[in-house]
Amino acid sequence: MRGLLSEFGVIANTGKASLFKRLEKFTIDANFTQQLRDMLGDLYSESLGITQRIDKVEIQLKKFVADSPSQKILLSISSIGFINASALLASIDKGQAFNSPREFAVWLGLTPQQYASGNKSRMGGSPAWRSLFKKTASAWC
């Protein structure tokens, strides 16, 4: 939407609040065709709907984490917020499936466990979890 607006000389600052404010003004500006205003009006209302759904899901995730007995431990870890905490709780609950912290780290993909066959070697663990923790760690630094 920002790109489309910029094609018509309407520049919005970063952040969704600024974009939504510019879109709202654009949809009533008579300097642009009605078809373009209608199209951007539809995009604007759809974006508002998606934003509201995301807010509802975030509230549900926060409640899910708050209801867990493990939430204090998870949220005390730096760079673990309610999204990562809810994903961990949904995946492993209390972690009773792991015999040691090392097994848990391998499952996350943070500690290498090699699988080798001939000249090829692969690292064990979940690439999804590994990337999730790498992103939160890099955002924290």
Q: d(Cα 27, Cα 47) in Å, to the nearest integer?
A: 14
Average pLDDT value over all residues in the chain: 81
58 pLDDT exceeds 90?
yes
Stretch 134-138: mean pLDDT, rounded?
72
Within 8 A by CB and 6+ apart from 90, the residues are 64
According to the 3-state scheme, what is the secondary structure of the chain? CHHHHHHCCCCCCCCHHHHHHHHHHHCCCCCCCHHHHHHHHHHHHHHHHHHHHHHHHHHHHHHHHHCCCCHHHHHHCCCCCHHHHHHHHHHHCCCCCCCCHHHHHHHHCCCCCEEEECCEEEECCCHHHHHHHHHHHHHHC
Select, from the ranges 1-5, 60-64, 90-94, 137-141, the one with the highest average predicted confidence (pLDDT).
Answer: 60-64
What pLDDT, on a 0 to 100 scale, did the predictor assign at position 114?
A: 57
pLDDT for the residue numbered 53? 96
What number is the average pLDDT over the span 48-60?
Answer: 94
Look at residue 87 in the predicted model and tell me its pLDDT. 86
Instruction: Give the CA diameter of the chain.
Output: 69
Average pLDDT (53-79) is 89
pLDDT at 60: 95
pTM of the model: 0.66
CB 137, CB 79: distance < 8 Å: yes
- pLDDT tens-digit readout, 82-115: 888 888 888 887 778 888 887 787 777 776 655 6
Query: Phi and psi of 115, rounded to 5°?
Result: -115, 115
Give residue 50's pLDDT.
94
Residue 131: per-residue pLDDT: 77
